[in-house]
Structure 1
């Protein structure tokens, strides 16, 4: 029983649970945004009708293929992906780039084998090529 308790109390499991709850909540928020704002906006642009493809289907040898609902889900997915990209990914990338801009370089690529090595290295640890060390920065 103590092993199960340790498993449950591991930090990454708790973080994963929080991420699932936040993701589900965010999904509901995005679906509401799509249903209540974006879909009516598409309807206003296309002449007042909200796009609804759920009744579209075709029949082959007596089997009915209802592709309209699939089209609705694809459109919803694309809209959700675009909203997540523009509202989450882009701002996060910009924030990370701001933090990385001021970060001091500590590694470089070996010109011979293209491995990542420390900036002050005199010899590559992977291919043993001799390198010119980086100039020492003198304190001002």
Structure 2
């Protein structure tokens, strides 16, 4: 039973999942800082309120309704989704497209094909034969 647990933990997908959770938590903190430090004050300045949660708040028979609270949650969701899409999904899709087409990634060195290497060897041998 211990060996099975050890194999389960050592499997790549469990380690990848753990790394993804840690990176996701760190990424969420970065997005929260951007939203809280830059975007929310900008929107709050437009609406004249300290944050979005107090925008369009009204009371009916003692019940408090807050459209700003819904807007704040929606905006946070859209900010995180946009950041993940543009910073993670788009670059990975472009990399996958290049790999499908057989192109090397920008940082991968392009290696010659077998035919190119054999042609270079042949040409080098012909140059040596000539007096």
Report if the CA contact (8 A) 2:53-2:68 is conserved: yes
Structure 1 residue runs without a partner (length 5+) = 104-140
State the SS of the aligned residue for 2:64: strand
**Number of the residue aligned with 1:12:** 13
TM-score, normalised by the number of residues in structure 2: 0.60
**Number of the residue aligned with 1:54:** 53
Deviations 1:23-71 (A, max 9, x none): 1111111111222233345567x49x57722124333443223332221
Q: 1: CA distance between counterparts of 2:43 and 2:66?
A: 22
Question: Aligned-pair RMSD on alpha carbons?
Answer: 2.7
Aligned ranges 1:1-140 → 2 under 5 Å:
2=2, 3-42=4-43, 46=46, 52-55=51-54, 56-102=56-102
Higher RCO (CA 8 Å, separation ≥ 6 residues): 2
Structure 2 residue runs without a partner (length 5+) = 104-131
Greater percentage in helix: 2
